[in-house]
Structure 1
Amino acid sequence: TAGPTFTMLKLKGWPNAVRPLSLHRDSGSRDPLYTRSHFLLVCTSEALLFARLSLSLSLSLSLSLCTSEALFVCASLSLSLSGHQRLFCLRLSLSLSLSLSHTHTHTHTHTHTHSKNPNFLCKKGNAVSDDPGITVFRVSSPKEMACSPVEESKRYIARTQKTNQLKTFLALAIWLCVIHLVIFLLILMVFVLPFRWSLTLGAVLVTLMVIPLFEKSALAEFVSRFVCKHGPGHFPVTVVIDDKDALDPNQAYVFAVEPHAVIPLGVVGLCENTGLLPLKKLKGFASSAVFYTPILRHVWTWLGLAPAKRKLVVDSLKQGYSCVLIPGGVSEMLYMEPDREVVYLKKRFGFIRIAIEMGAPLVPTFIFGHTHIYKWWKPKGMLYNEMSRVLKFAPLLFWGMYGTPIPFPRPLYVAIGKPIELKKNPQPTQEEILEVQALFLSALQDLYDRHKADAGYKDTPLYVY
């Protein structure tokens, strides 16, 4: 019978990656692209293609890291290319990744001077990471910190260094540009593309929302290490620990990080693969909306993030993981202003309750610079506030360098205070929770006041809602 014929492509080493690459009309047949049955067949084949590609990539343990990088780029492009273009893309990506693998990074091991304070002298100290993109320092009695209540010998600083610029750009693109990519694809699907292509794109996005995350795959490990190694150097990120000896590597902590800002990128300084903290088991938590977003759910899961749900946090603490939480959340974004620091904590009790129930020390953490890595515009009014709470994120317009999703290279200063020791109580009373909240707010304010001058925010006030 008359009908479409298929040109098949079988990639070497990928026996299951077979798909129809083109449809040809036989003489005398109707145009199959405009018939419902053939159109649904095309949609199904596109969805199966991406699922097979994802499975093949995640299971390709025998490939080198540079090849995994090339395959990641190739897979992201392959949906819109023809057969010969796919082969060309694969070869080009392999060549590019092999050439990048020979580019070496350099690290500075000499004495540094703080960019905001010329008297802030640091000496190289004991490293907590073997990563060449990270330099670790110990403060050598600066006069500016004479009022600090902790001993200077216990203060600890770790700072990321810039690496290869191309790799930094690729890391930021993988880490952050996915958000704008998904928005762009949704706009195309709704307003631009013909119905048949909109349905195809929709099928692909839905597939990306449900396929497994492959957290333990070689690709996941590579993406995590690549982003954590090259991304933070863009700012750079400086982590300052008031008392390093107070952090026990065998203890699980609850890091309460403020502020949230547009995207809390400074949390990368607390990621396990960044290596800036003397703790090996760390897990970050983000809004549940992130894990319903195609592509983004994979990338951020590979970076060590999980949905901010009570059960997941409790289970992680039981397994010995220190949990990185941002209690201000979406509501904090509704209050943020460019000329002041804002935290929304007076009505936040969940993170305190979990810390008391598990007996996990509560660590106040403040990230200076969060509110300046992006510019933004957000609507005002009760309707917008209620919609943000329902959606679990605040819809706003934000942009970075040259109007792109790449953030401005503003230094991020992560100040980590002394842990607040808590007595374990499986059923804490409201009075106990309020008492711990008062201790935490006082410790956070003290942490902010002691570090704001060194971070370059001496005249910026902190507002607590």
Structure 2
Amino acid sequence: MVCARIIEFLLVTILITTFLFSPIITFLLIIIPIILLCLFKQFWYLFIILGICLIYGCWVFFDYHTDSKGGRWSDRFRRLCIWKKFANYFPLKLIKSEDLDPNRNYIFGYHPHGAFALSAFGNFATDATDFSILFPNIRPHLMLLRLQFLFPCTRDLFLNLGACCVSRNSCEYLLSGKCGQGNALVIVLGGVPEMHITRNDTMIFYIKRRKGFVKLALKYGASLVPVISFGENELYERRTCFNLIPNGIPCGRSIIGHIPLRNSVITVVGKPIHVNQIVDPTATDIDQLHNEYIQAIEQLFQANKCQYGLEHVNLEII
């Protein structure tokens, strides 16, 4: 038992460190060997390293748009045992409210962002919580910022897990039928603004100004699915920093506090809101569906918060 917990902790530490510090790691992987080679005057090694960088650079050049073309899905990679250990660290659990028709496409609105949306990764970028069993023939694509696909340490990892860029072109490609049906775009709707206002006593959803996902749903007839992770905000404590940052900074374990606390996270996938396709939706159409989605989020929160030990937590939608 102790050994398993140590392995889980080490695995989570490696993954989180890679996610957060991939630009620095990439720089060090290139510059440190060059410095050492220059010191020891073994310049022929330098040409080998430069050759490897050149080959990988060419690969990225020709593969640059993969993150906007459905990703590079690998069921085998998504089912590796390391992802189970990642999920068991917290642990993570995925709950469904209703079966999903594989002949439709979906947009999952994920809430809350928390510090790093770790349960979104564990539940939807991997099969650690048995997504493929709960929702057969549905392919979840975790939608990420393009920045995540610029560094060797994370680019191919995310692509093989089916993650895609959250740009409009990428979303439209998945919803247009070019990748078939049964695609679920998992979008962390609050984004960076929501990350900065995370609180442990209140779930704050930054969605009143987020209407692009609603327009996409109407344009392509994709069903909207509200998703709430109960416990995501509790993975990190908010600590003040000499009153310089109003809401404090996320702090977990380790010297620099970037490792999440062990806290159970229950992710509930709500009932889908089926949408009739309107190729050119009006502002009224968008506002109407947006309000319906907000009501669905509120109902999902109220129906589940007491069941998962968060009866003291309130919901605020801004």
Give the TM-score band, short-chain normalised. 0.7 to 0.9
Counterpart Cα distance in 2 of 1:359 and 1:380: 49
| Aligned equivalent of 2:291, options 415, 427, 438 | 438
- In structure 2, the residue matched to 1:302 is 160
Matches within 5 A, 1:40-439: 164-165=4-5, 167-169=7-9, 171-182=11-22, 185=25, 196=35, 211-212=59-60, 221-222=76-77, 225-242=80-97, 244-245=98-99, 247-267=100-120, 268-271=122-125, 273-274=127-128, 275-276=130-131, 277-280=134-137, 281-317=139-175, 318=177, 319-320=180-181, 321-375=183-237, 398-403=250-255, 405-439=258-292
- CA displacement 1:198-238 (0-9 Å, x = unmatched): 998x97889877744797698x9447623432211111112
How far has the Cα of 1:291 moved from its partner?
1.4
Counterpart Cα distance in 1 of 2:186 and 2:263: 22
TM-score, length-normalised on structure 2? 0.76
- CA displacement 1:401-420 (0-9 Å, x = unmatched): 23454321111111222111
Counterpart Cα distance in 2 of 1:226 and 1:209: 30
How far has the Cα of 1:379 moved from its partner?
8.0
- CA displacement 1:157-178 (0-9 Å, x = unmatched): xxxxx99445534542453220
Counterpart Cα distance in 1 of 2:154 and 2:56: 9
How far has the Cα of 1:253 moved from its partner?
1.3
Change (3 A) 1:225 1:398: same
Letter in 2 for 1:234: Y
Contact 1:356–1:428 (8 Å) recurs in 2: yes
Counterpart Cα distance in 2 of 1:378 and 1:184: 26
Q: Secondary structure at the match of 2:229?
A: strand
- CA displacement 1:51-72 (0-9 Å, x = unmatched): xxxxxxxxxxxxxxxxxxxxxx
Gaps of 5+ in 1: 1-104, 106-161, 385-395
Counterpart Cα distance in 2 of 1:255 and 1:443: 12
- CA displacement 1:293-340 (0-9 Å, x = unmatched): 340222222222111111211222222211111111112123222332
Whose RCO is larger (CA < 8 A, sep 6+)? 2
Change (3 A) 1:186 1:358: closer
The number of aligned residues is 287
How far has the Cα of 1:282 moved from its partner?
1.6
Gaps of 5+ in 2: 39-45
Change (3 A) 1:330 1:359: same
Counterpart Cα distance in 1 of 2:123 and 2:215: 25
TM-score, length-normalised on structure 1? 0.53
Change (3 A) 1:351 1:185: same
